[in-house]
Amino acid sequence: MLRLSRQAVARPWRGVRSYSSSLVEAFDNPSNPQPVAPTRSGGLFTFPQLTSPESFTPISDRTIAYSSALVDRIVNAPSNGVAEMRKVVKNLDRLSDGLCRVIDLAELVRNVHPDGRWVEAADSTYDRLCEYMNELNTHVGLYKALRETVHNPAMDLDYSAKQVALMFLRDFEKSGIHLSDASRRRFVELSSESLMLGRKFLMNQGQDSDVRRVTLSQSDLIGIPGEFLRHMAPADSKGNRTLDAHGWEAQVLLRFAPSPDARLKIHVATNAASDEEVDTLEKLLESRAETAKLINYPTYSHVALSDKMVDDPSQVMVFLESLVNVNKPFAGQDVDKLAASAKQALGVSSIPPIRASDREFFMQMRASNSGTSSSLEPIAPYLSLGNVMSGLSAVLEQLYGIKFVPREVEAGEVWDPSVRRLDVYDTNCNAIVGTIYADLFARYPKQGTAAHYTVQCSRRVDDDDYVPGEEDRRDAGAVIQNQNGRFQLPIVVLACTFDKPSANQPTLLNWQEVETIFHEMGHAIHSMIGRTEYQNCSGTRCATDFVEMPSILMEHILANPQIQTVVGKHWKTGKSLSPELVSAHLAQLNSLPALETHGQLLMALIDQAYHSQQAPLSSNLGWSTDMWFDVQSQHGVIPPIKDTAWQVQFGHLFGYGATYYSYLFDRALASKIYKDVLSPDPLSREAGQRLRDGVLKWGGGRDPWEMLGDLLGGKDAEMIAKGGVDRMRAVGNWGAGDIGVSVK
Helix (H) / strand (E) element for 580: namely helix 579-589
Q: Is the dihedral of CA 408, 411, 414, 417 positive or negative?
A: positive
Tens-place pLDDT, residues 532-589: 899 999 999 999 999 999 999 999 999 999 999 999 999 999 999 999 999 888 887 7
How confident is the model at residue 21, as a pLDDT? 61
- Residue 36: pLDDT over 50: no
Q: Do the beta carbons of residue 663 and residue 316 sit within 8 Å? A: no
pLDDT in tens, 668-678: 999 999 999 99
pLDDT band at 473 (very low <50, low <70, confident <90, very high): low
Cα(74)–Cα(146) distance, rounded to whole angstroms?
Answer: 8
Asked if residue 371 has pLDDT above 70, the reply is no
Structure confidence at residue 475 as a pLDDT band (50, 70, 90): low
pLDDT of residue 364: 87
**Mean pLDDT value of segment 576-605:** 90
pLDDT at 643 exceeding the cut of 90: no
Of the pLDDT bands very low, low, confident and very high (cuts 50, 70, 90), residue 374 is low
For residue 431, pLDDT over 90 is answered with no
Please, are residues 270 and 246 in contact by the beta-carbon 8 Å criterion?
yes
Does the pLDDT of residue 14 top 50, yes or no?
Answer: no
Give me the residues paired with residue 241 across strands: 216
Active site residue 520: yes
- The residues, any chain, with a CB within 8 Å of residue 252's CB and separated by 6 or more, are 228
Q: Domain 40-182, what architecture?
A: Up-down Bundle (1.20)
Q: Quick check: 481 pLDDT over 80?
A: no
* Range with lowest mean pLDDT among 36-50, 331-345, 357-371, 439-453: 36-50
pLDDT exceeds cutoff 90 at 22: no
The pLDDT value recorded for residue 366 is: 85
**Same fold for the pair 40-182 and 380-571:** no
Query: Cβ distance 313 to 301 under 8 Å?
Result: yes
Q: For the chain, what percent of residues have pLDDT higher than 90?
A: 73
Task: Report the range of poorest mean pLDDT among 25-39, 222-236, 545-559.
Answer: 25-39
The DSSP line for 435-466 is EEEEEEE--TTS-SS-EEEEEE--EE-TTPPP
pLDDT at 599 over 90: yes
* CATH topology (fold) of 380-571: Collagenase (Catalytic Domain) (3.40.390)
Choose the weakest-confidence range: 13-27, 253-267, 582-596. 13-27
- pLDDT score of 472: 57
Amino acid, res. 146: L
The fraction of the chain above a pLDDT of 70, given in percent, is: 92
Sequence-distant (6+) residues with CB within 8 A of 350 are 343
DSSP designation for 234: P
277, 520, 533, 548: which one is catalytic? 520
Mean pLDDT of 489-496: 94
549 close to 666: Cβ distance less than 8 angstroms? yes
| 148 vs 29, higher pLDDT | 148
d(CA 290, CA 188): 12
624-657: b (≥16 Cβ within 10 Å) or e? bbebbbebbeebbbbebbeebbbbbebeebbebb
Q: Report the relative pairing of strands 491-498 and 431-441 from DSSP bridges.
A: parallel
- pLDDT score of 8 more than 50: no
What is the C-alpha to C-alpha distance for residues 172 and 134, in angstroms, rounded to an integer? Answer: 11
- Position 39 scores a pLDDT of 43
What is the C-alpha to C-alpha distance for residues 329 and 90, in angstroms, rounded to an integer?
A: 51
Q: Where along the chain do its domains lie?
A: 40-182, 209-272, 380-571
Q: Per-residue confidence at 739, pLDDT binned at 50, 70, 90?
A: low
As a whole number, mean pLDDT of residues 369-386 equals: 81
* 3-state SS assignment for residue 489: strand
Whether the per-residue pLDDT at 622 is higher than 80: the answer is: yes
Instruction: Give dist(CA 638, CA 509) in Å, integer.
Output: 34
Of the listed ranges 67-76, 152-161, 312-321, the least confidently predicted one is 152-161
Mean predicted confidence (pLDDT) in 498-523: 94
